[in-house]
Structure 1
Amino acid sequence: MACTNCSTGSKDGGAPKGCQNKGTCGTDSCNKLTVFDWLSNMSLPSGQEPFDCVEVRFKNGRKEFHRNTEKLSLIIGDVVATEASPGHDIGIVTLTGELVKIQMKKKGVSHTSPEITKVYRKASQKDIDIWSDARAKEEPMKVTAREIAIRLQLQMKISDIEFQGDGSKATFYYTAEDRVDFRQLIKEYAQTFKTRIEMKQVGFRQEAARLGGIGSCGRELCCSTWLTDFRSVNTSAARYQQLSLNPQKLAGQCGKLKCCLNYELDTYMDALKDFPDFDTKIETERGVAYCQKQDIFKGLMWFAYADNIANWHVIHIDQVKEIVAENKQRRRISSLEDFALEIIAEPKQDFNNAMGQESLTRFDQPKKKKSRNNNKRRKPNSNEPKK
């Protein structure tokens, strides 16, 4: 996850090439779920002290609020040591100032709560080295942890492991359909990894948000970049938007329905208020016609007779309302053809390429045909004189 100004490799001091912000730029690209600090260039009124809480990010977008009791001069990007139980943890400051108060209010955290832990100090080089060594152990441990869970035949999946900054505790994040008895599993982990073990169950959407990835749209997952609240999504959202109920296309990387199905649902619901019901039927002298399709953007509905379901007739919704009003007065229209619209097909643009550039092999050199008689022994000519 890097912005377009950054490139691969790094300069001296660990700063990426381009922005030189050490992965803490304000473009919302280097970090997960970052908040743009639009108050960073504004000074506080005279006599007002800065807010004493800061937002600290840990692995994979996990964020917590900590109190700056030591009055440290902290800016976005500083690596700090925070209070943990037991020991201390290492994180990166992602937000300071008055915007932290807004984020705490948004997440329902009171800034006067005694449960808010404090920031010990800015991390020293020794703290960062211990933190880096602990992070390097996580991937090999995850492979071993999954093997142990499979050997114990537990219906669970170890999705991620996060070490505390001082290396004294490891948190195992797992997903499971049902309740899992992992008492024996914790004993196996403690004997194998020689550290304190903590198990945390997360949902499938939270797992995808922690791990990240690329969606079918070609962009990074919404849940790992900016989406924080996971609202329930059901198949009715796809029906209202007239999407095909294909589970492979509607499901995201978490295996659940995509969260983006809710993005435009309110717009579709407002547009459908002016539409007659999809179950609307029209009574004509030729027979009863049923609705087959709706076009919300153009305000059109397609109807077909019950005895000729393959032949559709397109009618504007205003005329459909008039026909329904006539049917309520027990009057039938003559036929659908009298109200049907003519759909003019858009002309297809054929691009003729006279240069033949559509061929993928236009730059390939033609292969020379090999003679079949090269390897055969040349037969002597009967007309040649014998020696």
Structure 2
Amino acid sequence: MSSPVPSAQRSANRARVVRALRERGAQSRRALAEIGLSRSTVKSVIEELLDDGTIMEVSDADRRIGTGRPPTLVGLKGDLGVAVGIEIANGIVRAAVCDTAQQLLSHDAVPMDDHTPPEATLKTAGTLVGHMLDRLGLGRDRVLGVGVAMPGPIQRNTGVNGRATTLKPWVNVNPYATASDAFRLPLVVGNDANFAALAETTWGVARGMRDIAYVYTASGIGVGFILGGALYVGANGTAGELGHTTIDENGEVCQCGGRGCLNTLANADSITQKLWRSHRDRLSIADVIKMAEMGDVGCRRVIADAGRHIGLAAANMYNLLDPELIVLGGNLAPAGELLLAPLRESMARRAIHAGDVLPPVVVGALDEHTVVVLGAAAAVLRDTERFPLPGKKQ
């Protein structure tokens, strides 16, 4: 007769299965056996988690194998708590609420002046989240944690926003400390591109992949790296500042003090400014993309130029890190092939061709209005140590 599994080991096994479900969503039993546990152990843990109401079986008709029955998956139940995501962006504050089954329950936004002090911005964000929870009939006790996304790098050693932050009232501010005072809930704070990468690996085109680069275009251009299945932020939190890589040593001076940064050539502001002399109008980037799609040659030209510049930077990034997929998101993503075709061409001329294969470069599945705020919620859903499930042994 085999001896029973010790309590500590059983708890550790449960924790591994729950962590996998929080990170990857609903999984087949076979997939869960790949996390390093035997099939018999996975079977035992799943039965235990089903019995205590932590997980449920999910029929996945979209994942058919051949002509047989679709596999039955297991996933966390959605009523175990919620994760709140908040994005502090230029001109707007967004919020989202997701449950433990990775379902988006609600999202909303309010305009916000870029010069608003951090404390006032977070007060507005807190009010927005409070209204959303009230509409959902949820109390604060159901919130596992809050993820807050910021533009620009957050210095890992000090927790302070660096000078490259595009929201100038937040420069030299510790967003974690400020948000902790405002929300009084378990908290994680991070860069917008990093959280966007988490969203795309949780819900989007990079789901299940372990090495991806998510190029996020907004007021600046940043990259969120998922390397070896984990978010990579660098020793001081500044990994992925693609917009501040030098493209033209004799180019325009950037806000960071450098010269010829990618941001001065390919972000939304630089694209629209290039059209001022020819179009005599203050176009938004959405206007430029729409006009390009309608055949405006000037708009098509500046988008293609931006694609080529981003492709040069992406080639250098690929040569260093070799991701299996590059995803474009943010306000330039709606340009689609108008931008991606010259980007790929520029990248192919400069990237090393290991095996003569370059990674696919695709537009993300999540739009610019939800990707970052969903990623902020995903950061909470994926972190089993800082944000445990209430009342459940993990």
Please give the TM-score of this superposition, normalised by the length of structure 1. 0.24
Select the structure that is richer in helix: 2
Please give the TM-score of this superposition, normalised by the length of structure 2. 0.23
The higher-RCO structure (CA 8 Å, 6+ apart) is: 2
Question: Which structure: larger Rg?
Answer: 1
